[in-house]
Copies of this chain bind each other. A is one copy, B any other.
Amino acid sequence: MPEQLPGHRPTLEAVAERAGVSRATASRVVNGGDGVRAHLVEKVREAVLELGYVPNPAARTLVTRRTGAVAVIIAEPEIRIFSDPFFSRQIRGISKELTAHDTQLVLLLVEDRGDYDRIERYLAGGHVDGALAFSLHTDDPLPAITRRVGMPTVYGGRPGWTAGSGEHGGIAYVDADNRGGAREAVRHLLDRGRRRIAHIAGPLDQTSAVDRLDGYRDVLLDADPALIAEGDFTATGGAEAMAALLERCPDLDAVFAANDLMATGALRVLRERGLAVPADVALVGFDDAELVAETADPPLTTVRQDIEGMGRLMAQLLLRTLNREQGDRAVPASVVTPTALVRRGSS
């Protein structure tokens, strides 16, 4: 049974007395439980309002075994989280959804591998009800951790980790149609008459990068391998990949970069080399990240994904999992959201 805080706050006993019900019944109503008849629920709610009763949340946790908090874990160093608007936008979506359900967002930073021991302890310590994890790499220890501590988790991005690769079946995730979006980007460049289309891939230990590369290859079945360079989803990495591509293939006439930040890095290198965009080299990005694609000069043609919406979906999926009663129908395990080409000046 919940303990009330000492002092002048109205107690649950006072609520029960005013409503003319038992303390157990009052507790069940206050803590959102079922199995109380409607007219008694009504009486307890009236008493709560009249007395200005505020439930003790620590006590509520004891009854519901819920903390009302959800961890968000981004498997990237802090410097990337703060420099790539993708992350802030996804966090915004998650934050809106959790706030709408009065759930506290708890952001855990992962600077390096050593941090995972501490994160496992925190997750095992019962401080959150579930976790949202994104930007995982194939060798990420996080899936094994959440399994070990039995933490309900929804992932951002298609699972591709190698540890326990046979166990992706029941995993809930939200992803964009990366492969379809990449196909559309490359087809658009073909439509613009480009024939030597290069690809700056993301880090290929992430499924989003793999899927976008696959989409590129779906359209350009016999693509010259020299036209593909691997970046790391940062502007600096995009610049380095662009320089390597120009070295290898000075005749390239288009670039599809696997995200907008890498496209801005590529844009800088093209400008430094005196190549005009789009006249000499057409350029397409991916994300339609705010303050990046639209503000580039020229503005970037890009593949838009609904980043904020994906964050909301992740949070919804997790909350539905947490609120699911035994015997309820299964929660959909994954959602793939559509992408759309946004045409701007760079192509």
Q: How many residues of A contact B (CB 8 A)?
A: 39
Contact present for A125 and B92 (CB under 8 Å):
no
Report how far A126 CA is from B99 CA in the complex, Å: 20
Q: Which residues of A79-137 have CB atoms within 8 Å of chain B's CB atoms?
A: 79, 81-83, 85, 87-88, 91-92, 95, 99, 102-109, 111, 114-115, 118-119, 121-122, 124-128
Q: Mark the stretch among A61-69, A239-247, A313-321, A339-347 that contacts chain B.
A: A61-69
Report how far A87 CA is from B79 CA in the complex, Å: 11
Q: How many Å from the CB of A106 to the closest CB on chain B?
A: 5
Nearest B residue (CB) for A122: B104
Q: Which of A57, A58, A87 has the most CB of B within 10 A?
A: A57
Interface presence of A251 (CB below 8 A)? no
Interface presence of A78 (CB below 8 A)? yes
Q: Which residues of B sit under 8 angstroms from A125, Cβ to Cβ?
A: 57-58, 61, 67-69
Chain multiplicity (copies): 2
Contact present for A108 and B105 (CB under 8 Å):
yes
Contact present for B118 and A104 (CB under 8 Å):
yes
Q: Which residues of B sit under 8 angstroms from A109, Cβ to Cβ?
A: 91, 95, 105, 107
Contact present for A78 and B102 (CB under 8 Å):
no
Report how far A109 CA is from B107 CA in the complex, Å: 8
Nearest B residue (CB) for A57: B121
Q: How many Å from the CB of A285 to the closest CB on chain B?
A: 19
Contact present for A108 and B115 (CB under 8 Å):
no
Contact present for A67 and B127 (CB under 8 Å):
yes
Q: Which residues of B sit under 8 angstroms from A58, Cβ to Cβ?
A: 124-126
Q: Which residues of B sit under 8 angstroms from A88, Cβ to Cβ?
A: 78-79, 81-83
Could you list 23 A-B pairs, sorted by A, with CB under 8 Å? A58-B125, A61-B125, A68-B118, A78-B88, A78-B92, A78-B95, A79-B88, A82-B87, A83-B88, A83-B291, A91-B109, A99-B111, A99-B114, A99-B118, A102-B118, A104-B119, A104-B122, A105-B109, A106-B106, A106-B107, A106-B108, A106-B127, A127-B127
